[in-house]
Amino acid sequence: MSEHENVDLKPTPGERLTKFFKRSDVIQSTIFGVIVTMIFVILGGKFYTKWMPTVMSTDMKAIERLMVVFTWIAAPVCGVVLGVALYTFLNRHSGDTPPPDGPATRTNGPVVLGWSVVTSVLALVAVIYGITELNSASIATAKNVENSMVVNVVGNQWVWSFEYPELGVQSHELMLPINRPVAFHVTSVDVNHSFWPVQLGVKVDANKLAETLADTTPTKLGEFDVKCAELCGLYHAYMETTGEVMTKADFDNWVIAQGGHTA
Ligand SMILES: [Cu+2]
């Protein structure tokens, strides 16, 4: 076999990949990308949760976990995009004469394959995780039906009303005892609203002539916000009130003060 026969051999995908990752622009972009990814992983795990509303229920805890995991999944994608953007920005051309065009790139098999596989895996993880979370929320709802306290929530331009059928109480503030599952039966007397007790991690439509169900278990004492999350007219932004998670004793006292009877 003479030597020059080997000259025309195409590089293998492995050789092309090695060559690709030896290019100085690729190395710099990768370093930027890894730094950006690490920043978002740390932000997601340590700081985002601090900037989110206080966790006051089982559902809010699950939402917080979901936000952290999804931030981690998104971090490497963000790393690739911002890594390339940073490299490009730092190596931008200055001066009057634009540089000549580089050779046309048709395709790059290893990059296309790698990118497709990685994004598919990330998307699959997100879908499976999301479905598992939804399913566990439904299982929890089914389990809570037996011993939960029912609260009928009514949206009305532009106030929320809360009725506790078992206790004979009606209120414009949402008082709840700690550690007891609560089932919200949500409806509206006029337009579509959306019942949103923020720190409880619940957000559900309030529609006329229909009842939507949501449930959670409050796990932390203190006040929380109740808002409307559906544009429902002129004073939509003011359709808010407060709620409070109380000890059982405080809740019973409140019920009696409202003229109700404790269960
Ligand atoms: Cu509303």
- Distance between CA 171 and CA 162 in Å, rounded? 5
Model's pTM, two decimal places? 0.77
Distance 47 CA to ligand 1 centre (A): 31
> Candidates 1.10.357.10, 3.40.120.10, 3.40.1160.10, 2.60.40.420; correct CATH number of 149-257?
2.60.40.420
Instruction: Calculate how far, in angstroms, residue 63's C-alpha sits from the geometric centre of ligand 1.
Output: 23
pLDDT digits (tens, 9 = 90+) for 169-179: 999 999 999 99
Please give the distance, rounded to the nearest whole angstrom, from the Cα atom of residue 236 to the centre of ligand 1.
5
| Model pLDDT for residues 23-59, shown as the tens digit of each residue | 999 999 999 999 999 999 999 888 888 888 999 998 8
Backbone torsion region of residue 82, taken as left when φ is above 0, otherwise alpha when ψ lies between -120 and 50, otherwise beta: alpha
Q: Amino acid identity, residue 80?
A: V
Task: Give span(s): CATH 2.60.40.420, the chain.
Answer: 149-257
pLDDT at 8: 67
At 54-75, the pLDDT tens digits run 999 988 998 898 889 889 989 9
Q: Which residues contact 228 (CB under 8 A, 6 or more apart)?
A: 155, 158, 160, 193, 194, 195, 196, 236, 239, 240
Residue 196 forms beta bridges with which residues?
227
Determine the distance separating the centroid of ligand 1 and the alpha carbon of 60, expressed in angstroms.
Answer: 22
Determine the pLDDT at residue 226: 97
Centroid of ligand 1 to alpha carbon of 224 (angstroms)? 18
- Give one DSSP letter per residue of 190-212, joined into a string: SS-EEEEEGGGT--EEE-BT--E
| pLDDT average, residue stretch 119-132 | 89
Ion ligand 1, residue ranges at CB < 5 A: 193, 228, 232, 239
